[in-house]
Structure 1
Amino acid sequence: MCNYKNRPIFDMKKKLQILIPILICFFVGFIGSRFQTDAISNWYPYLNKPDLTPPNIVFPIAWSILYIFMGVSVGLILNSNSRKKRYFVKIFLLQLFLNFTWSISFFYFQSPVAGLLNIVLLEIVIIYYALSVYPIRRTSSFLFVPYILWVSFASYLNFYILLYN
Protein backbone atom coordinates (compact mmCIF):
# COMPACT_ATOMS: atom_id res chain seq x y z
CA MET A 1 0.00 0.00 0.00
CA CYS A 2 1.32 3.39 -0.95
CA ASN A 3 1.05 6.20 1.59
CA TYR A 4 -0.04 9.15 -0.53
CA LYS A 5 0.18 11.66 2.34
CA ASN A 6 4.00 11.45 2.35
CA ARG A 7 4.37 11.35 -1.43
CA PRO A 8 4.64 15.14 -2.06
CA ILE A 9 7.54 15.38 0.41
CA PHE A 10 9.26 12.45 -1.27
CA ASP A 11 8.71 13.95 -4.74
CA MET A 12 10.01 17.34 -3.58
CA LYS A 13 13.18 15.73 -2.23
CA LYS A 14 13.76 13.99 -5.57
CA LYS A 15 13.23 17.24 -7.46
CA LEU A 16 15.60 19.13 -5.17
CA GLN A 17 18.26 16.46 -5.66
CA ILE A 18 18.16 17.39 -9.35
CA LEU A 19 17.59 21.14 -9.06
CA ILE A 20 20.36 21.81 -6.53
CA PRO A 21 23.12 20.20 -8.64
CA ILE A 22 21.95 22.21 -11.66
CA LEU A 23 22.16 25.40 -9.63
CA ILE A 24 25.60 24.42 -8.32
CA CYS A 25 26.84 23.87 -11.89
CA PHE A 26 25.55 27.30 -12.93
CA PHE A 27 27.11 28.88 -9.85
CA VAL A 28 30.50 27.30 -10.53
CA GLY A 29 30.23 28.39 -14.17
CA PHE A 30 29.35 31.92 -13.12
CA ILE A 31 32.31 32.13 -10.72
CA GLY A 32 34.61 30.71 -13.40
CA SER A 33 33.39 33.29 -15.89
CA ARG A 34 34.49 36.08 -13.53
CA PHE A 35 38.08 34.90 -14.04
CA GLN A 36 37.67 35.14 -17.83
CA THR A 37 36.29 38.64 -18.25
CA ASP A 38 39.53 40.57 -18.69
CA ALA A 39 41.21 37.95 -20.88
CA ILE A 40 38.19 37.58 -23.16
CA SER A 41 38.37 41.25 -24.07
CA ASN A 42 42.13 41.90 -23.86
CA TRP A 43 43.90 38.64 -24.73
CA TYR A 44 41.68 36.03 -26.40
CA PRO A 45 40.59 38.18 -29.40
CA TYR A 46 44.23 38.59 -30.46
CA LEU A 47 45.07 34.88 -30.47
CA ASN A 48 45.37 32.82 -33.64
CA LYS A 49 42.33 30.53 -33.52
CA PRO A 50 41.15 27.80 -35.89
CA ASP A 51 38.47 28.51 -38.47
CA LEU A 52 36.14 26.21 -36.52
CA THR A 53 36.13 28.56 -33.51
CA PRO A 54 32.50 29.42 -32.81
CA PRO A 55 31.38 33.00 -32.16
CA ASN A 56 31.61 34.04 -28.50
CA ILE A 57 27.81 33.94 -28.09
CA VAL A 58 27.83 30.16 -28.63
CA PHE A 59 29.83 29.46 -25.47
CA PRO A 60 27.32 30.63 -22.81
CA ILE A 61 24.47 28.92 -24.67
CA ALA A 62 26.36 25.64 -24.94
CA TRP A 63 27.49 25.78 -21.31
CA SER A 64 23.97 26.52 -20.08
CA ILE A 65 22.69 23.39 -21.80
CA LEU A 66 25.64 21.36 -20.53
CA TYR A 67 25.19 22.58 -16.94
CA ILE A 68 21.57 21.44 -17.03
CA PHE A 69 22.58 18.03 -18.40
CA MET A 70 25.39 17.72 -15.84
CA GLY A 71 23.11 18.62 -12.93
CA VAL A 72 20.37 16.25 -14.05
CA SER A 73 22.94 13.49 -14.50
CA VAL A 74 24.27 13.67 -10.96
CA GLY A 75 20.76 14.36 -9.62
CA LEU A 76 19.57 11.06 -11.08
CA ILE A 77 22.50 9.35 -9.38
CA LEU A 78 21.53 11.01 -6.09
CA ASN A 79 18.00 9.68 -6.58
CA SER A 80 19.26 6.15 -7.27
CA ASN A 81 19.54 3.33 -4.78
CA SER A 82 23.19 2.73 -5.60
CA ARG A 83 25.53 2.16 -2.68
CA LYS A 84 28.24 3.87 -4.74
CA LYS A 85 26.41 7.16 -5.23
CA ARG A 86 28.72 9.02 -2.84
CA TYR A 87 31.67 7.85 -4.91
CA PHE A 88 29.99 9.04 -8.12
CA VAL A 89 29.23 12.41 -6.54
CA LYS A 90 32.93 12.75 -5.63
CA ILE A 91 33.90 12.02 -9.25
CA PHE A 92 31.29 14.54 -10.39
CA LEU A 93 32.68 17.18 -8.03
CA LEU A 94 36.21 16.46 -9.26
CA GLN A 95 35.19 17.08 -12.86
CA LEU A 96 33.34 20.24 -11.81
CA PHE A 97 36.48 21.46 -10.07
CA LEU A 98 38.58 20.73 -13.17
CA ASN A 99 35.99 22.49 -15.30
CA PHE A 100 36.29 25.54 -13.04
CA THR A 101 40.08 25.52 -12.93
CA TRP A 102 40.34 25.37 -16.72
CA SER A 103 38.94 28.91 -16.91
CA ILE A 104 41.55 30.04 -14.44
CA SER A 105 44.49 28.23 -16.06
CA PHE A 106 43.62 29.15 -19.64
CA PHE A 107 42.08 32.61 -19.32
CA TYR A 108 43.16 34.11 -16.01
CA PHE A 109 46.77 32.92 -16.28
CA GLN A 110 46.58 33.17 -20.08
CA SER A 111 48.33 29.84 -20.33
CA PRO A 112 47.31 27.50 -23.14
CA VAL A 113 49.80 24.93 -21.76
CA ALA A 114 48.19 24.86 -18.31
CA GLY A 115 44.77 24.96 -19.96
CA LEU A 116 45.62 21.95 -22.12
CA LEU A 117 46.90 19.92 -19.17
CA ASN A 118 43.78 20.84 -17.23
CA ILE A 119 41.35 20.03 -20.04
CA VAL A 120 42.98 16.66 -20.75
CA LEU A 121 42.48 15.73 -17.09
CA LEU A 122 38.91 17.01 -17.31
CA GLU A 123 38.26 14.86 -20.38
CA ILE A 124 39.58 11.76 -18.63
CA VAL A 125 37.44 12.35 -15.54
CA ILE A 126 34.21 13.06 -17.45
CA ILE A 127 34.66 9.96 -19.60
CA TYR A 128 35.36 7.95 -16.45
CA TYR A 129 32.23 9.36 -14.79
CA ALA A 130 30.07 8.57 -17.83
CA LEU A 131 31.36 5.01 -18.05
CA SER A 132 31.14 4.45 -14.29
CA VAL A 133 27.53 5.58 -13.89
CA TYR A 134 26.29 3.69 -16.95
CA PRO A 135 25.47 0.48 -15.03
CA ILE A 136 23.63 2.50 -12.35
CA ARG A 137 21.73 5.02 -14.48
CA ARG A 138 22.16 4.92 -18.25
CA THR A 139 20.46 8.29 -18.64
CA SER A 140 23.08 9.86 -16.35
CA SER A 141 25.78 8.47 -18.59
CA PHE A 142 24.10 9.59 -21.83
CA LEU A 143 23.62 13.10 -20.45
CA PHE A 144 27.41 13.40 -20.32
CA VAL A 145 27.90 12.57 -24.01
CA PRO A 146 27.33 16.17 -25.22
CA TYR A 147 29.68 17.36 -22.47
CA ILE A 148 32.36 14.89 -23.56
CA LEU A 149 31.97 16.03 -27.18
CA TRP A 150 32.09 19.72 -26.22
CA VAL A 151 35.18 19.28 -24.06
CA SER A 152 36.81 17.30 -26.87
CA PHE A 153 36.13 20.22 -29.20
CA ALA A 154 37.40 22.68 -26.57
CA SER A 155 40.54 20.55 -26.25
CA TYR A 156 41.09 20.89 -29.98
CA LEU A 157 40.66 24.69 -29.73
CA ASN A 158 43.02 24.84 -26.76
CA PHE A 159 45.62 22.69 -28.54
CA TYR A 160 45.41 24.81 -31.69
CA ILE A 161 45.88 27.99 -29.70
CA LEU A 162 48.87 26.42 -27.96
CA LEU A 163 50.48 25.48 -31.28
CA TYR A 164 49.89 28.72 -33.16
CA ASN A 165 50.46 31.39 -30.52
Structure 2
Amino acid sequence: MSELFKKTNPKRLAACLAVPLALGSVVGKAISKDVKEYSELDKPSFAPPKWAFPVAWTTLYALMGLAKYKALEAADDEQEMAIHKADGLQLSLNFIWSFLFFKFHLRGAALIEMSILLLTILYTAKEYAKVSKTAARLMLPYILWVSFALCLNASVWHKNK
Protein backbone atom coordinates (compact mmCIF):
# COMPACT_ATOMS: atom_id res chain seq x y z
CA MET A 1 0.00 0.00 0.00
CA SER A 2 1.30 3.46 -0.87
CA GLU A 3 2.59 5.45 2.10
CA LEU A 4 0.35 8.29 0.97
CA PHE A 5 -2.77 6.26 1.80
CA LYS A 6 -1.71 4.78 5.14
CA LYS A 7 -4.02 5.37 8.07
CA THR A 8 -3.11 8.43 10.11
CA ASN A 9 -1.96 8.01 13.70
CA PRO A 10 -3.45 11.23 15.18
CA LYS A 11 -1.51 11.12 18.47
CA ARG A 12 1.82 10.66 16.75
CA LEU A 13 1.00 13.31 14.16
CA ALA A 14 -0.02 15.78 16.88
CA ALA A 15 3.18 15.12 18.84
CA CYS A 16 5.39 15.47 15.75
CA LEU A 17 3.75 18.79 14.86
CA ALA A 18 3.53 20.11 18.43
CA VAL A 19 7.20 19.73 19.35
CA PRO A 20 8.79 22.03 16.75
CA LEU A 21 5.85 24.47 16.77
CA ALA A 22 5.75 24.75 20.58
CA LEU A 23 9.52 24.96 21.02
CA GLY A 24 9.73 27.49 18.19
CA SER A 25 7.10 29.59 19.95
CA VAL A 26 8.94 29.39 23.30
CA VAL A 27 12.24 30.39 21.70
CA GLY A 28 10.52 33.18 19.77
CA LYS A 29 9.13 34.63 22.98
CA ALA A 30 12.48 34.25 24.76
CA ILE A 31 14.30 36.28 22.11
CA SER A 32 11.49 38.68 21.10
CA LYS A 33 13.15 41.77 22.62
CA ASP A 34 16.42 40.90 20.93
CA VAL A 35 14.78 40.36 17.54
CA LYS A 36 13.64 44.00 17.59
CA GLU A 37 17.30 45.05 17.47
CA TYR A 38 17.66 43.13 14.18
CA SER A 39 15.77 45.92 12.39
CA GLU A 40 18.53 48.35 13.38
CA LEU A 41 21.31 46.28 11.79
CA ASP A 42 22.79 46.97 8.37
CA LYS A 43 21.26 44.24 6.20
CA PRO A 44 21.73 43.20 2.58
CA SER A 45 19.22 44.16 -0.11
CA PHE A 46 17.95 40.56 -0.24
CA ALA A 47 16.88 40.55 3.44
CA PRO A 48 13.19 39.69 3.69
CA PRO A 49 10.78 42.00 5.53
CA LYS A 50 10.38 41.37 9.25
CA TRP A 51 6.89 39.85 8.87
CA ALA A 52 8.24 37.09 6.60
CA PHE A 53 10.21 35.37 9.36
CA PRO A 54 7.35 34.19 11.60
CA VAL A 55 5.35 33.10 8.54
CA ALA A 56 8.31 31.17 7.13
CA TRP A 57 9.29 29.56 10.42
CA THR A 58 5.76 28.52 11.36
CA THR A 59 5.41 26.86 7.96
CA LEU A 60 8.83 25.23 8.24
CA TYR A 61 8.19 23.90 11.75
CA ALA A 62 4.92 22.37 10.56
CA LEU A 63 6.68 20.79 7.56
CA MET A 64 9.45 19.46 9.84
CA GLY A 65 6.85 17.87 12.09
CA LEU A 66 4.99 16.35 9.16
CA ALA A 67 8.25 15.04 7.69
CA LYS A 68 9.19 13.40 10.98
CA TYR A 69 5.73 11.88 11.25
CA LYS A 70 5.96 10.42 7.73
CA ALA A 71 9.41 9.01 8.46
CA LEU A 72 8.35 7.48 11.78
CA GLU A 73 5.27 5.90 10.25
CA ALA A 74 7.43 4.15 7.65
CA ALA A 75 10.27 3.17 10.00
CA ASP A 76 11.02 0.05 11.99
CA ASP A 77 12.16 0.31 15.64
CA GLU A 78 15.86 0.73 14.82
CA GLN A 79 15.13 3.33 12.15
CA GLU A 80 12.82 5.18 14.55
CA MET A 81 15.72 5.66 16.97
CA ALA A 82 17.93 7.08 14.21
CA ILE A 83 15.11 9.41 13.12
CA HIS A 84 14.55 10.69 16.67
CA LYS A 85 18.29 11.32 17.14
CA ALA A 86 18.74 13.14 13.82
CA ASP A 87 15.62 15.23 14.33
CA GLY A 88 16.49 16.08 17.92
CA LEU A 89 19.96 17.20 16.92
CA GLN A 90 18.84 19.42 14.05
CA LEU A 91 16.01 20.91 16.12
CA SER A 92 18.38 21.66 19.03
CA LEU A 93 20.86 23.36 16.70
CA ASN A 94 18.02 25.32 15.11
CA PHE A 95 17.02 26.80 18.46
CA ILE A 96 20.59 27.40 19.63
CA TRP A 97 21.20 29.52 16.54
CA SER A 98 18.43 31.94 17.55
CA PHE A 99 20.12 32.62 20.88
CA LEU A 100 23.58 32.98 19.36
CA PHE A 101 22.43 35.41 16.68
CA PHE A 102 19.73 37.44 18.43
CA LYS A 103 20.24 37.22 22.20
CA PHE A 104 24.02 37.05 22.45
CA HIS A 105 24.85 38.94 19.21
CA LEU A 106 27.47 36.31 18.33
CA ARG A 107 26.80 36.51 14.61
CA GLY A 108 30.12 34.92 13.60
CA ALA A 109 29.53 31.99 15.94
CA ALA A 110 25.94 31.80 14.69
CA LEU A 111 27.27 31.56 11.13
CA ILE A 112 29.51 28.62 12.04
CA GLU A 113 26.69 27.00 14.01
CA MET A 114 24.26 27.45 11.11
CA SER A 115 26.72 25.76 8.76
CA ILE A 116 26.69 22.77 11.11
CA LEU A 117 22.90 23.04 11.33
CA LEU A 118 22.57 22.85 7.55
CA LEU A 119 24.73 19.73 7.43
CA THR A 120 22.63 18.23 10.22
CA ILE A 121 19.40 19.00 8.35
CA LEU A 122 20.84 17.30 5.26
CA TYR A 123 21.75 14.31 7.42
CA THR A 124 18.22 14.25 8.86
CA ALA A 125 16.70 14.34 5.37
CA LYS A 126 19.02 11.47 4.39
CA GLU A 127 17.80 9.44 7.39
CA TYR A 128 14.20 10.20 6.43
CA ALA A 129 14.86 9.19 2.82
CA LYS A 130 15.91 5.72 3.98
CA VAL A 131 12.30 5.06 4.96
CA SER A 132 10.18 7.68 3.16
CA LYS A 133 10.93 9.75 0.07
CA THR A 134 7.94 11.92 0.97
CA ALA A 135 9.45 12.72 4.38
CA ALA A 136 12.76 13.67 2.76
CA ARG A 137 11.00 15.89 0.20
CA LEU A 138 9.12 17.68 2.97
CA MET A 139 12.51 18.82 4.29
CA LEU A 140 13.42 20.62 1.05
CA PRO A 141 11.82 24.00 1.96
CA TYR A 142 13.69 23.89 5.29
CA ILE A 143 16.98 23.12 3.53
CA LEU A 144 16.40 25.97 1.07
CA TRP A 145 15.41 28.45 3.77
CA VAL A 146 18.40 27.62 5.99
CA SER A 147 20.70 27.90 2.96
CA PHE A 148 19.24 31.35 2.29
CA ALA A 149 19.46 32.23 6.01
CA LEU A 150 23.10 31.18 6.00
CA CYS A 151 23.81 33.75 3.27
CA LEU A 152 21.79 36.35 5.17
CA ASN A 153 23.64 35.58 8.42
CA ALA A 154 27.00 35.89 6.62
CA SER A 155 26.04 39.22 5.09
CA VAL A 156 24.69 40.66 8.35
CA TRP A 157 27.80 39.51 10.19
CA HIS A 158 30.07 41.06 7.54
CA LYS A 159 28.17 44.37 7.43
CA ASN A 160 27.96 44.75 11.22
CA LYS A 161 31.40 43.68 12.48
Structure 2: unaligned runs, 5 residues or longer? 1-6
- 1:35–1:107: 8 Å Cα contact kept in structure 2? no
Distance 2:30 2:110 in 1: 13
User: In 1, distance between residues paired with 2:50 and 2:124?
Assistant: 28
Out of 13, 25, 33, which is 2:28 matched to? Answer: 33
SS in 1 for 2:130: coil
- Looking at structure 2, the residues matched to 87 and 15 of structure 1 have their Cα atoms a distance apart, in angstroms, of 22
Deviation at 1:34, TM superposition (A): 2.0
Q: 1:129 aligns with which of 120, 124, 139?
A: 124
What percentage of residue pairs aligned between the two structures are identical?
Answer: 31
Match of 1:78 in 2: 72
Contact kept in structure 1, 2:47 and 2:152, CA below 8 Å? yes
What residue number does 2:90 align with?
A: 95
1:92-116 residue CA offsets vs partner (Å, 9 max, x unmatched): 0110001111111100101111211
Instruction: Report the count of equivalent residues.
Output: 154
State the distance in 2 between where 1:20 and 1:139 align. 19
Q: In the TM superposition, what whole-angstrom CA distance separates every residue of 1:62-115 from its partner, at most 9, and x where no partner exists?
A: 111111110011111221243311111111011000111111110010111121
Question: 2-side partners of 1:58 and 1:20: how far apart?
Answer: 26
Gaps of 5+ in 1: 1-10
Structure 2 residue aligned with 1:15, among 6, 10, 13? 10
Could you tell me which residue of structure 1 aligns to residue 3 of structure 2?
none
Checking the alignment, whether the CA contact within 8 Å between 2:126 and 2:136 is kept in structure 1 is: yes
Residue 62 of structure 1 aligns to a residue whose secondary structure is: helix
Equivalent-residue separation in structure 1 for 2:49 and 2:65 (angstroms): 25
Indicate whether 1:69 and 2:63 are aligned: yes
TM-superposed CA distance for 1:135, in Å, is: 2.5
Are the equivalent residues in 1 in contact too, given 2:68–2:128 (CA < 8 A)? no
Per mean C-alpha deviation after superposition, the further-off stretch among 144-153 and 83-92 is 83-92
Work out whether 1:153 is the aligned partner of 2:148: yes
Q: Is residue 99 of structure 2 the alignment partner of residue 108 of structure 1?
A: no
Q: 2:103 & 2:94 partners in 1: Cα distance? A: 14
Instruction: Give the TM-score normalised by structure 1.
Output: 0.88
* Higher Cα radius of gyration: 1
Question: TM-score, normalization: structure 2?
Answer: 0.90
Q: 1:105–1:111: 8 Å Cα contact kept in structure 2?
A: yes
Which segments of structure 1 move beyond 6 Å, counting only runs of 4 or more?
Answer: none
